[in-house]
């Protein structure tokens, strides 16, 4: 549970932290779209270099960012297995063969791209939550979705729900740790290699966790009601979002990265023969 990075904020001072939340949200959305445009290993290499530069500029420890990948290890293994078994693209030459099992070069190429795409899809939102507080995310999202208010959608209420969701994730992690420690003190076995025993041991965790979540939600509702909270769209904010000189620079740098990715995909400059770099494209 401690490896879940969503909703966790890393407190430090950096140029990435001080960038406007609205700009980071726009870049994050475009980043997720860009990941699906990448279809070559050179493209993922460019993406990795830009991502590492962002991590170093944010002063967030790289190991802490990479730890968030532990939660998708099973999904990555499952994706790798399914791609190897059912990929029907160009098979080309046989890389490894045993009995009736054959692994082709095309299968390895496709597996690598799928796994890299999955990794970068996780790392992008992770950096967003590490460098942006839940309040800033909520305010930025509400500002970006303002046009939807013209058709009667309560944007301010949705932003409030998002803020509460992001804030409650770390609390749920702490509550889960406390419940697990309490169950271990009662000789509960969470380390058994038997998957059925481990699944059965999770029941005493889920039931009190759900009950505790409902109790905390009631307490939060009572606290907001006792303070006469009204989710009106004209509420003022203690800290207002303001664009600074960092924001256009961030947009320009990301636009340059996106242009390189699109060039690798569509080859805007036909006088550059990308086929010369071999199978990695």
State how far the Cα of 41 lies from the Cα of 150, in Å rounded to an integer: 43
Q: What's the pTM value of the predicted model, to 2 decimals? A: 0.74
The phi, psi pair for 96, rounded to 5°, reads -145, 140
Q: Which of 26, 25, 48, 23 is nearest to 35 (CA)?
A: 48
Q: Which of 230, 225, 228, 231 is nearest to 157 (CA)?
A: 231
The phi, psi pair for 250, rounded to 5°, reads -60, -40
The pLDDT value recorded for residue 80 is 79
State how far the Cα of 105 lies from the Cα of 40, in Å rounded to an integer: 15
The phi, psi pair for 102, rounded to 5°, reads -130, 135
Task: List, for residues 137-163, the tens digit of each pLDDT value.
Answer: 888 888 888 888 778 777 777 777 877
Instruction: Output 194 or 215, whichever has higher pLDDT.
Output: 215
Check: CB of residue 23 under 8 Å from CB of residue 251: yes
Q: Tell me the domain boundaries of the chain.
A: 1-150+241-281, 155-232
The pLDDT value recorded for residue 201 is 72
């Amino acid at each position: 549970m401690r490896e879940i990075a969503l909703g966790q904020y890393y407190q430090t001072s950096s140029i990435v932290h001080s960038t406007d939340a609205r700009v980071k949200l726009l870049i994050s959305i475009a980043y997720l779209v860009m990941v699906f445009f990448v279809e070559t290993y050179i493209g993922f290499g460019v993406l990795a270099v830009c991502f590492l530069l962002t991590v170093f500029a944010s002063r967030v420890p790289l190991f802490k960012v990479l730890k968030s990948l532990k939660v998708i290890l099973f999904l990555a293994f499952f994706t790798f297995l399914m791609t190897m078994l059912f990929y029907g693209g160009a098979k080309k030459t046989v890389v490894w063969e045993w009995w009736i099992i054959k692994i082709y070069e095309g299968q390895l190429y496709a597996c690598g791209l799928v796994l890299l795409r999955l990794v970068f899809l996780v790392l992008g939102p992770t950096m967003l939550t590490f460098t942006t507080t839940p309040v800033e995310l909520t305010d930025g999202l509400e500002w970006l979705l303002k046009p939807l208010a013209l058709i009667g959608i309560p944007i301010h209420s949705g932003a409030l729900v998002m803020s509460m969701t992001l804030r409650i994730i770390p609390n749920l992690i702490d509550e889960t740790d406390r419940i697990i420690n309490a169950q271990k003190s009662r000789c509960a076995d969470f380390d058994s290699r038997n998957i059925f025993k481990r699944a059965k041991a999770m029941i005493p965790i889920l039931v009190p966790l759900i009950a505790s979540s409902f109790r905390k939600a009631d307490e939060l509702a009572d606290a907001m009601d006792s303070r006469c909270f009204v989710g009106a769209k004209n509420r003022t904010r203690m800290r207002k979002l303001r664009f600074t000189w960092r924001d256009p620079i961030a947009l320009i740098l990301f636009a340059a990265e996106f242009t390189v990715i699109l060039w690798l995909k569509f080859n805007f400059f036909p006088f550059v023969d990308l086929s010369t770099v071999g199978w990695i494209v």
